[in-house]
Structure 1
Amino acid sequence: MKGISVVLLTILFEISTNLIANENPKGSITGQVIDRDTKQEIVGAMVEILNEGVVTVTDIHGDFFIEGLNPKTYNLKISAPYYVTTYKTDVLVTGKQSTKIIVELKIASYETEEIIVSSERYFDKPNELVTSTNSLSAEEIRRAPGAVEDLNRMIQTLPGVTTATDSRNDLIVRGGSPVENFILVEGIEVPNINHFGTQGASGGPIGMINVDFLNDVTFSAGGFPAKYGDKLSSVMDVQYRNGDRNNFNGKVDIGIAGAGIILEGPLQKGKSSYLFSVRKSYLDLILSSTGLTAVPNYSNFNLKATYELSENHILTLIGLGGIDKINFKGFDEEADPFITSIDFSGWSAAGGIVHKWLIGNKTFLQTSLSTNMYQREVSEDSIGKPTFNNESLDKEFVLRTDLSQIFSPTDLLEAGFTAKFIQNNNTIFRAQALDIYGSILPELNYDAVAEAYKFAPYVQYSKNLFGRLDLIVGLRYDYFSYLSDKSTISPRASAGFYLLDNLKLNAAYGIYYQAPPLLWLVAYDQNKELKQMKTNQFVTGIEYYPVPDVKITVEYFEKQYSDYANSVLNPQVTYANAGAEYYTLGLEPLVPVSDGQARGIEFFVQKKLTNGLYGMFNYSFSKINFTSLDGIERPSSFDYRNVLTAILGYKMTNNFEISAKYRFMGGRPYTPLDEVASAQFNQTIYDFTRYNAVRYDNYQRLDIRVDYRFEMFGWALTSYLDFQNVLNVKNIEQIIWNQKKQKVDYIYQWKFLPAGGIKIEF
């Protein structure tokens, strides 16, 4: 595979460096400026390209258009009377397509206008997300070294976020399981945005969202307000850009793993548009002659279409989905037949309609009706005998509505509710077997349809006092019909105080509840007695802007967990450590007795792209412990203690840039192998008495990326090479018993791995 990758990368690089046209095309920026809370168009907003002497203003629809620009990256300054000045960085202009952006301005309170508006900075975040929040532009995500344009893998570089293994993009936020993450795509709730996702969790190995769809992404690692609910650890708010409202155009994307195409154009000339992409992997075709197994085969689509019913009513159609297939085979090289064979196939789809109603100058109502479905079929054979089969179809139908009402420049009321119908259709067979801790799992035959309802209203109020103090208080109610204890109430509050124009003190406290995934509740009747998992969260810190393009934050966080599901068969095992695996969870008796604590401190520095240089640095120290059914407190499987991530990039010319990422993580706790039992039964069995008692060696990895842009034959092309783990460090992922060699063995994380691709705009 390495040889094939190197040859393809060499070809891509030669094309990039040798076939460059002599023409000097010009590019353009098309955008819209709107009010962040009411989504009203802002007329007469001033849009300035910094250091270029180019200024324009928005028209009666809040639109602006700037043309005649040289292809390169620009920074914009957007200002309007009674609004806080905002900056849009990393606006990449090519010589073919118009660059589309959406800018939201925050209304300035009369008292704070002098304070905040005069304090220029290149960073922005929503008003209600006071603590632990960062926003990333599409270009920052696209060019991130080691991420290969995977949204989740870029989020992993933010403070407080780790992952369990290189082969997956799970988000482990401040010690929280991948089960605990909330994802919104253009106002639609999407449980999982990845291929080959774990049932009931939010991660997987490969992302489905096309980075070329993105306008920006906002991520909160804690302390989020009442409008975001039924999750314990994080909120990811994904905003797509609009398609081209005037012209048809497209982009072809060819990489090592697959190829895709993006098409966009107008539905109503100058008013409405569509944006559509489809992508297909071809690694299975390239590697079919090598005899390798476990090669992923997947395809996906993304869709956004907007239609303007009137000046005050806009419909948006959102779609996202994928098809997955993979086969794992383990065999004895000296004597057939296969020892173990695992087949996985499935599909997922999420989509809905969003109605945006601009009721008045100070009132906005957004309502969405959506659905998401995840179908999986997993079968496992051992020595030709079926040992496990899971045919599942998970469905959700969701009605969500959010109201924003501005009473004055210092007072904002937000209220809304979410109603869900959930259905889990599972046919499960599991043969009696020994699990990885040496306990006997009884045979399980389950075939049923489970249904449940959720209802969650919320209200929150934002107030500015004395020009320097921002307060947000909120209350949330969650109802889940499937549990015996159906209802919870979650009060939350946050505050931010400007000590200086560029120095802010933030704090947040709240109670958070999350219902267990329906799959955990259905296999055994006693599992219906599980409770809604709970955390009490406290976050405080400072936010400092020494210069406009640099942000420094220091935060302390504390999360108190309670009522987490715990295994009865293996009392040491808490489900707070689960969710970052491929196997099906919840197929055993569970009780809600696991408690835990996560606390730590995070230091974060980010420099936006100016003068050719950009980067970020974060270091965190944390301790995550859980107490299981046996009453013993142990380190969480996600307790890395020390995590350091650094990214540094430099644009050497308008067309050429190089970047690097270094990551260090402390050794992750694990349960050592019981070698005697593993040898006796010739399978992996861990020492149950030493659950999470030892740690792997420290993890480290260096990634380097090179981007090059050029024009050829009237097309705009972007090529990249991404070299992962260039030091070829052997990071251990897992200790196992090798059934073929009948000895202790190790599974390693990614070694040196080259990747690359090229995008062609037409």
Structure 2
Amino acid sequence: ILSGKSICAQTNIQGSITEAHTEKPLAFVAISLVKDGDGILHTISDSSGHFKFDGLAPGTYSLHFQHIGFLPEVIEVTLISGKDEIMAIKMKESIATLSEVVVKPNQNPNQPDNQMVLISGRGFNPDDTRRFAGSLNDPSRMATSLAGVSSANDFRNDIIIRGNSPSGLLWRIEGLDIPNPNHFASMGNTGGPVSLLNINVLSKSDFIIGAFPSEYGNALSGVFDLSLRDGNNEDREHTFQVGFNGLELGMEGPIGKNGGSYLANYRYSTVELLGMLGIDFGTDGAIPKYQDISFNVNLPTKKAGTFKLFGIGGTSQINFKADPPDSLSPIGSDISSGSNIAVLGFNHKILLQNDWASSISLGVAYSDQFSRIDSVNWSFNSQAPIFREKLSEVRTSLHWTLNKKINHRNYFRTGLVASNIHFNLSDSIRYQNSLMDRINSRGNTHQVQLHTQWKHYFTENLVASFGLHSLFFALNKQVNIEPRANISWEFYSGHFLKFGYGRHSQRQPLNLHFYQDPAGLFPNELTNRNLGFSKSDHYIVAYEFQMDKPWRFVLEAYYQNLFSIPVSRTSSYSAINAGAEFGISAEESLINKGQGRNVGIDLSVERSFKDGYYFLSTTSVFDSKYQDFADSWHNTAFNTNFQSNLLLGKQFKLKGRDLIAIDVQHTWAGGRRYTPIDLELSQATGEAVFENHTPFSKQFRSYYRLDLKVTYRSNGKKAMQEWAVDLRNITNRKNAFTQQFDSIENRITTIYQIGFFPTIFYRLYF
């Protein structure tokens, strides 16, 4: 296994270079490898855009890319023992004439890969997820450190964007829209306690938080567009890792003679493994069990394009057994819940004649969630069903995109997303001494999205993208047409003014469409079946100053108008507040008459990782409100009003090629919103009675958390080893989560979020 690497602790850099819009390979690109300010090696890319530097010692290097007619690129890369660096470089064509050209490298290493994104977008780098304190190697938790983004609570990784519900986020991987990629997931939600995504198989991806381009649809708040990295197509490599997310094994290597590769990673719950060894966690046997797998097979050809076969999948379950009887309560509950997901995809990319490029993705995605609650009466040694749920969905999808380079100023993109959805939904609850159905439906429906976009460079410094998106959903037979626009103007060197607008819509979760209330006015009717889309308009204006690399300053102001939101005719319920808990709350006879508004300012000051350290400071101030059916305005569940993050990290070189890294994250945010409990009515009824006429009118004190991460990395002759201690909430701050009514003590109590939470991490590359 170790024979593939030199005993002199050498490693390689290789990759491919393409034109950013069409992904056409670029030959004869001049590449310089720079170490400590000096160019030590030089090469050019071959006819397929491939390049390679071999026999390199571990450490940090700069790669400089130059090509006639293209903007130069400068990229930092850190090499480690036991692993080659596989890169995919995209260069943008220069619009200026030769007489106007000023050689100025790209100043923003975090710009999105999608060239249609001109505002409110950022390139997601897996290295940042590994690096940031408190992220726990979770892309979602890393994203909550960015401006305009917050989390629902410490127990989950939901992504709240600018006051929107987490349900408004679109997840996409290799061109395919996918279900919730988390363990213990639920239909209609986009987050969970443990991420199923594995950063060891992810490449640079895009994260967009507003006015996103027309190729993205069925989403209200943002997009996480993920790419899988290709495996090493020359040497076999292996990964062993253990930490909070599980025990992991990975492998990659070459396939065939045309530069093909494979990549696969498998992960198993660390907590479950420790439980098998007899370690008691004090949870009465309630141990989260989960496992997942990710893979990517890349098969390039000489004339037929590039083929990919990829997939992710996972299963999760947890069981809570009723506590033994005591003098106060002879009744307990047995609870079991979990979820499963499997995504299998196939992608084909090919360059066509006359600067056309085609990308086709075919995929099948299965997802389900299940829950079971039984009441246990120890006095009579009996058990009665209280709740049953099994929601499953199989989605078969076709994504087809065509790109056209018209000339060096104009680019065109069009495509479609067609999905067939087979669903089987069952949900029942105990009512009048028997289980009554709230959901009991199965069938098929389909969804079709069309999009077209045009990007035009008016000058070297003024560029705009315009597009249209259409969404059709067969279940309610509705169609929505959505215009989109992004404009970027560099009015002075490094200074940008940007504008964004987008009309966006999203269908409702299927379990909301098929909900019926056995205790309601229409117990046997599907009163929500024909609910329409939730809709919103995004308006964004931004100022960006790209200082001398790697510093960047971004200020964005936004206004979002939400409308056609499902609301109750008889209460303050609005679907705008759903998505941050396990499951989607629902009521009968909903109507698309609700409204909402999100307004705020996001500020970021960032120094990308360079010369061994980085800095990120973000501040968001916002207000999020919704209007119910009675035209009363309320705070949304996500209106915490502000959030600020400060992240710092520094690497210190030790003897030889070893290093130690210290990373700190400080988070300060408004407290969670909650609906107050009516104490007198609760005492009279013996259970919590909420003041639902004033939803989310109260707010807990501010949220505060300080995280510290210490990492030691050792680059050996044939392998890299890394040890890390990630200490979340090192001050053990008691951040409030919710309130509940204690029927035994007859008072209101506060439930708190996670206190001091240390995790240990180990990784081995060889």
State the TM bucket, normalised to the shorter chain. Answer: over 0.9
Measured at CA, do residues 632 and 270 of structure 1 come closer, stay the same or move farther in structure 2, by a change above 3 Å? same
Identity of aligned residues (%): 24
Measured at CA, do residues 132 and 267 of structure 1 come closer, stay the same or move farther in structure 2, by a change above 3 Å? same
State whether structure 2 residue 457 is matched by structure 1 residue 456: no
* Residue equivalent to 1:298: 290
Looking at structure 2, the residues matched to 145 and 340 of structure 1 have their Cα atoms a distance apart, in angstroms, of: 37
Deviation at 1:58, TM superposition (A): 1.4
Looking at structure 2, the residues matched to 431 and 115 of structure 1 have their Cα atoms a distance apart, in angstroms, of: 73
* Residue equivalent to 2:58: 71
**Contact 1:329-1:338 at 8 Å conserved across structures:** no
Measured at CA, do residues 119 and 26 of structure 1 come closer, stay the same or move farther in structure 2, by a change above 3 Å? closer
Measured at CA, do residues 713 and 46 of structure 1 come closer, stay the same or move farther in structure 2, by a change above 3 Å? closer
Mean CA deviation greater in 333-342 or 489-498: 333-342
Looking at structure 1, the residues matched to 392 and 124 of structure 2 have their Cα atoms a distance apart, in angstroms, of: 34
**Contact 1:181-1:232 at 8 Å conserved across structures:** yes
**Contact 2:572-2:629 at 8 Å conserved across structures:** yes
* Residue equivalent to 1:161: 149
Q: Deviations over 1:694-713 (max 9, x none)?
A: 11110010111112111457
- Secondary structure at the aligned position of 2:389 is classed as strand
**Contact 1:521-1:586 at 8 Å conserved across structures:** no
Measured at CA, do residues 256 and 200 of structure 1 come closer, stay the same or move farther in structure 2, by a change above 3 Å? closer
Looking at structure 2, the residues matched to 116 and 191 of structure 1 have their Cα atoms a distance apart, in angstroms, of: 45
Pick one of 82, 85, 92 that aligns with 1:96: 82
* Residue equivalent to 2:724: 720
- Secondary structure at the aligned position of 1:365 is classed as strand
Deviation at 1:744, TM superposition (A): 2.1
- Secondary structure at the aligned position of 1:528 is classed as coil
**Contact 1:732-1:749 at 8 Å conserved across structures:** yes
**Contact 2:724-2:760 at 8 Å conserved across structures:** yes
Mean CA deviation greater in 646-655 or 544-553: 646-655
State whether structure 2 residue 480 is matched by structure 1 residue 481: no
* Residue equivalent to 1:668: 672
- What is the number of equivalent residue pairs in this alignment? 732
* Residue equivalent to 1:510: 502
Looking at structure 1, the residues matched to 546 and 188 of structure 2 have their Cα atoms a distance apart, in angstroms, of: 39
TM-score, normalising length from structure 2? 0.92
Measured at CA, do residues 733 and 333 of structure 1 come closer, stay the same or move farther in structure 2, by a change above 3 Å? farther
* Residue equivalent to 2:414: 415
Measured at CA, do residues 424 and 110 of structure 1 come closer, stay the same or move farther in structure 2, by a change above 3 Å? same
Looking at structure 2, the residues matched to 26 and 433 of structure 1 have their Cα atoms a distance apart, in angstroms, of: 72
State whether structure 2 residue 283 is matched by structure 1 residue 283: no
* Residue equivalent to 2:651: 651
**Contact 2:242-2:270 at 8 Å conserved across structures:** no
**Contact 1:119-1:501 at 8 Å conserved across structures:** no
State whether structure 2 residue 350 is matched by structure 1 residue 357: yes
Paired amino acid for 2:410: D
Deviation at 1:566, TM superposition (A): 1.9
Paired amino acid for 1:751: G
Pick one of 254, 274, 277 that aligns with 2:262: 274
Paired amino acid for 2:508: P
Looking at structure 2, the residues matched to 491 and 623 of structure 1 have their Cα atoms a distance apart, in angstroms, of: 25
Q: Deviations over 1:73-103 (max 9, x none)?
A: 33322222222222323x2311212111211
Deviation at 1:457, TM superposition (A): 1.1
State whether structure 2 residue 15 is matched by structure 1 residue 31: yes
Measured at CA, do residues 56 and 715 of structure 1 come closer, stay the same or move farther in structure 2, by a change above 3 Å? same
Mean CA deviation greater in 542-551 or 357-366: 357-366
- Secondary structure at the aligned position of 1:153 is classed as helix
Measured at CA, do residues 115 and 493 of structure 1 come closer, stay the same or move farther in structure 2, by a change above 3 Å? farther
Deviation at 1:687, TM superposition (A): 1.9
- Secondary structure at the aligned position of 1:519 is classed as helix
Deviation at 1:740, TM superposition (A): 5.6
Looking at structure 1, the residues matched to 102 and 676 of structure 2 have their Cα atoms a distance apart, in angstroms, of: 55
Deviation at 1:285, TM superposition (A): 4.1
State whether structure 2 residue 628 is matched by structure 1 residue 628: yes
Looking at structure 2, the residues matched to 678 and 116 of structure 1 have their Cα atoms a distance apart, in angstroms, of: 72
Looking at structure 1, the residues matched to 246 and 99 of structure 2 have their Cα atoms a distance apart, in angstroms, of: 49
* Residue equivalent to 2:583: 583
**Contact 2:454-2:467 at 8 Å conserved across structures:** yes
Looking at structure 1, the residues matched to 443 and 589 of structure 2 have their Cα atoms a distance apart, in angstroms, of: 17
State whether structure 2 residue 531 is matched by structure 1 residue 530: yes
* Residue equivalent to 2:32: 48
Measured at CA, do residues 740 and 379 of structure 1 come closer, stay the same or move farther in structure 2, by a change above 3 Å? farther
Pick one of 485, 490, 502 that aligns with 1:498: 490
Looking at structure 1, the residues matched to 296 and 245 of structure 2 have their Cα atoms a distance apart, in angstroms, of: 24
Measured at CA, do residues 618 and 656 of structure 1 come closer, stay the same or move farther in structure 2, by a change above 3 Å? same
* Residue equivalent to 2:547: 546
* Residue equivalent to 1:396: 395
* Residue equivalent to 1:260: 248
Looking at structure 1, the residues matched to 701 and 647 of structure 2 have their Cα atoms a distance apart, in angstroms, of: 23
Which structure 2 residues correspond to residues 442-453 of structure 1 after superposition, within 5 A? Answer: 443-453=436-446
Paired amino acid for 1:529: N
Mean CA deviation greater in 168-177 or 302-311: 302-311
Deviation at 1:256, TM superposition (A): 4.6
**Contact 2:125-2:203 at 8 Å conserved across structures:** yes
Which structure 2 residues correspond to residues 687-726 of structure 1 after superposition, within 5 A? Answer: 687-712=691-716, 714-726=718-730
Q: CA RMSD in A?
A: 2.3
Paired amino acid for 1:553: V
Paired amino acid for 1:617: S
Looking at structure 1, the residues matched to 33 and 136 of structure 2 have their Cα atoms a distance apart, in angstroms, of: 29
Looking at structure 1, the residues matched to 100 and 702 of structure 2 have their Cα atoms a distance apart, in angstroms, of: 49
Measured at CA, do residues 187 and 257 of structure 1 come closer, stay the same or move farther in structure 2, by a change above 3 Å? closer
**Contact 1:227-1:416 at 8 Å conserved across structures:** yes
Which structure 2 residues correspond to residues 133-212 of structure 1 after superposition, within 5 A? Answer: 133-212=121-200
Paired amino acid for 1:645: N
* Residue equivalent to 1:605: 605
**Contact 1:38-1:361 at 8 Å conserved across structures:** no
State whether structure 2 residue 688 is matched by structure 1 residue 684: yes
Q: Deviations over 1:2-36 (max 9, x none)?
A: xxxxxxxxxxxxxxxxxxxxx85122212111122
- Secondary structure at the aligned position of 1:214 is classed as coil
Deviation at 1:609, TM superposition (A): 1.4
**Contact 1:102-1:215 at 8 Å conserved across structures:** no
Q: Deviations over 1:629-667 (max 9, x none)?
A: 232101111011111011110111262111100011112
Paired amino acid for 1:319: G
Looking at structure 2, the residues matched to 218 and 62 of structure 1 have their Cα atoms a distance apart, in angstroms, of: 23
Looking at structure 2, the residues matched to 325 and 113 of structure 1 have their Cα atoms a distance apart, in angstroms, of: 64
Measured at CA, do residues 578 and 38 of structure 1 come closer, stay the same or move farther in structure 2, by a change above 3 Å? same
Deviation at 1:248, TM superposition (A): 1.7
Deviation at 1:501, TM superposition (A): 2.1
**Contact 2:107-2:547 at 8 Å conserved across structures:** no
Pick one of 305, 309, 313 that aligns with 1:317: 309
Q: Deviations over 1:674-730 (max 9, x none)?
A: 223333444333222331111111001011111211145732212211000001100
**Contact 2:316-2:339 at 8 Å conserved across structures:** yes
**Contact 1:346-1:376 at 8 Å conserved across structures:** yes
Measured at CA, do residues 108 and 443 of structure 1 come closer, stay the same or move farther in structure 2, by a change above 3 Å? same
- Secondary structure at the aligned position of 1:690 is classed as coil
Deviation at 1:475, TM superposition (A): 1.1
Paired amino acid for 1:460: Q
* Residue equivalent to 1:346: 339
Deviation at 1:350, TM superposition (A): 1.1
**Contact 1:84-1:113 at 8 Å conserved across structures:** no
Looking at structure 1, the residues matched to 397 and 98 of structure 2 have their Cα atoms a distance apart, in angstroms, of: 38
Measured at CA, do residues 729 and 333 of structure 1 come closer, stay the same or move farther in structure 2, by a change above 3 Å? farther
* Residue equivalent to 2:523: none
Paired amino acid for 2:615: G
**Contact 1:345-1:378 at 8 Å conserved across structures:** yes
Looking at structure 2, the residues matched to 638 and 322 of structure 1 have their Cα atoms a distance apart, in angstroms, of: 29
* Residue equivalent to 1:431: 430
* Residue equivalent to 2:522: none
- Secondary structure at the aligned position of 1:204 is classed as coil
State whether structure 2 residue 728 is matched by structure 1 residue 737: no
**Contact 2:258-2:300 at 8 Å conserved across structures:** no
Looking at structure 2, the residues matched to 593 and 515 of structure 1 have their Cα atoms a distance apart, in angstroms, of: 15
Q: Deviations over 1:365-410 (max 9, x none)?
A: 1010112111222111234322211112111111010111001110
